[in-house]
Amino acid sequence: MTESPARVVGEEAKRIKREALGIADRSKHHKRRAVPLRRRAKETGTQQRVYQYRFYPTVEQAAQLEQTFGACRWVYNEGLALRARAWEQHQVSVGFAETCRALTGWRRAEGTSWLRDVSSAVLQQALRHLDGAFSRFFKGTAKYPKRKKKRRSRDSATYVRTGFRWVEDPERPGTGLVTLAKQTEPLDVRWSRPLPRGEVPVKLTVTRDRAGRYFLSVLVEELIEPLPAAFLPGGTEPKAVGLDLGLATLVTLDDGSKLGHPRLLRKYADELARRQRELHRKEKGSRNRGKARERIARLYALISDVRRDLLDQFTTRLVRENQVLVVEDLPVANLLRPAVGKGRRRKAKLNQSIIDASWGELLRQLRYKCAWYGRTLVIVDRFFPSTRRCCACHAKGPRLDVSVREWTCEECGVLHDRDVNAAVNLRDEGMRLFWSVAMALPPGRPMPPVIKASELPEVHLAA
């Protein structure tokens, strides 16, 4: 390992920032007395929740948003370059506040005066996102931040409270007129459901997906009451459910019920495979290739919408009915990719990517719903042999090919449905982890909303 150079701090760092990096000093604020930041007291149990709506911009609004997205992307990339240069060339670390001061400079500079056409609060939020990306990198949970590319990265712009106007419609509470900074007309928002009673938007994010659709994400802080605890009959044992994700069925529960891949998704998957074959035949850089790519992006958008809605109803029901929900750290199907012909291989790969995405979405929804409603999500280690273990006698069976849907345990002779057996194993292993955490918890302390096996050092895998 190469030794990392020592960080430059103090007056020397200030000088470098001022002279080499062009970041203005904070002199303006130096003479003013520091005022402590007054934070709005948050009621306990307040959770941030995002509601998403589609909207249709006018031609002017679309043009203004295009400019805003472009400016956000530029500022993000410039901030990234500045932070990288500061460290690589001068061993100085540059934080959020300093990138904001640099932004003031960019807005004043002659060559980049077009940045003045976009609200500075919105551009600061782009730097805030960059700062978040760096924090995740330093924590080790993400890779080094990447430059945002036109048409490759999703376009987005975030407006904090000062960056938009909200006028609630007295006739239809929870809906209203939203006007963004630097725009004159309110947006044409399709309020598919009203915001919760008495809530006002705290933050807005405007996005345009690769299929060219516009969305408004409204963040509100609302009080979410945890649900009463769910117990098994008898009232002492928490009710638990194991979820197995697979190729044949999307989700199988330990009670044997299944959530299939919706026919619609399968149809889209077939179409996607066809479109992708088409794309490969198109010449690189040609107009037709661009068009084919756009069609694929639209399909992906459709697929993710269908999947999100489907999983939303499903996870809400599961979280209502159960106290403990157990999933696997990675779908096992990943490790059992069938080796078949080239065309089928591509299709299998595609199916796999759809399952991976479903799993990601499922996990995301379970995570936040468990936190909201006072449930516990247990994520079992991916090396746990959920498919191979017999749930009746715990004997380890043979490795199973994906095509095998049923198998009989050689030890005890029980016939298993492959997925149900896996779901039962997951539930049992999850409960074992749940109790090991519950026992170690000081009395009166609530259970954490997430237990991840790979983050529990003292828990060993059950044989």
List residues binding Zn ion (CB under 5 A). 390, 392-393, 395, 409, 411-412
C-beta of 23 vs 390, nearer to Zn ion: 390
What is the amino acid identity at position 32? R
Task: Give CA–CA dist 146/458, Å, rounded.
Answer: 36
C-beta of 311 vs 409, nearer to Zn ion: 409
Q: How far is the CB of 252 from Zn ion (least distance, A)?
A: 19
Which parts of 91-190 fold into alpha helices (H)?
Answer: 96-108, 120-139
> Residue 136 corresponds to which tokens in the numbers above?
């995740």
C-beta of 255 vs 411, nearer to Zn ion: 411
Task: Give CA–CA dist 82/76, Å, rounded.
Answer: 10
Task: Give CA–CA dist 285/118, Å, rounded.
Answer: 32
Exposed (0-12), middle (13-18) or buried (19+): which is 322, by Cβ within 10 Å?
Answer: buried
Q: What is the CA angle 48-50-52, rounded to 5?
A: 170
C-beta of 131 vs 419, nearer to Zn ion: 419
Q: Give the count of beta carbons closer than 10 Å to the beta carbon of residue 266.
A: 13
C-beta of 347 vs 416, nearer to Zn ion: 416
Catalytic site residue 419?
yes
Question: Which one is catalytic: 131, 155, 328, 381?
Answer: 328
Task: Give CA–CA dist 255/413, Å, rounded.
Answer: 20
Based on its alpha-carbon atoms, the radius of gyration of the chain, rounded to whole angstroms, reads 26
> Residue 158 corresponds to which tokens in the numbers above?
């975030």
Q: How far is CA 110 from the centre of its chain?
A: 38
Residue with tokens 């019920």: 257
Buried/exposed code over 439-452 (b: 16+ C-beta within 10 A; e: otherwise): eeeeeeeebebbbe
Residue 78 near residue 106, CB atoms below 8 Å: yes
C-beta of 100 vs 395, nearer to Zn ion: 395
Q: How far is the CB of 233 from Zn ion (least distance, A)?
A: 27
Exposed (0-12), middle (13-18) or buried (19+): which is 425, by Cβ within 10 Å?
Answer: buried
Q: How far is the CB of 173 from Zn ion (least distance, A)?
A: 58
Q: How far is the CB of 333 from Zn ion (least distance, A)?
A: 23
Task: Give CA–CA dist 360/329, Å, rounded.
Answer: 10
Q: How far is the CB of 217 from Zn ion (least distance, A)?
A: 49
Catalytic site residue 328?
yes
Residue 450 near residue 404, CB atoms below 8 Å: no
Residue 142 near residue 133, CB atoms below 8 Å: yes
Q: How far is the CB of 331 from Zn ion (least distance, A)?
A: 24
Exposed (0-12), middle (13-18) or buried (19+): which is 152, by Cβ within 10 Å?
Answer: exposed
Q: How far is the CB of 394 from Zn ion (least distance, A)?
A: 7
CA dihedral 169, 174, 180, 181 (to 10 degrees): 90
Question: Which one is catalytic: 381, 419, 428, 429?
Answer: 419
What residues are labeled active site?
Answer: 244, 328, 419
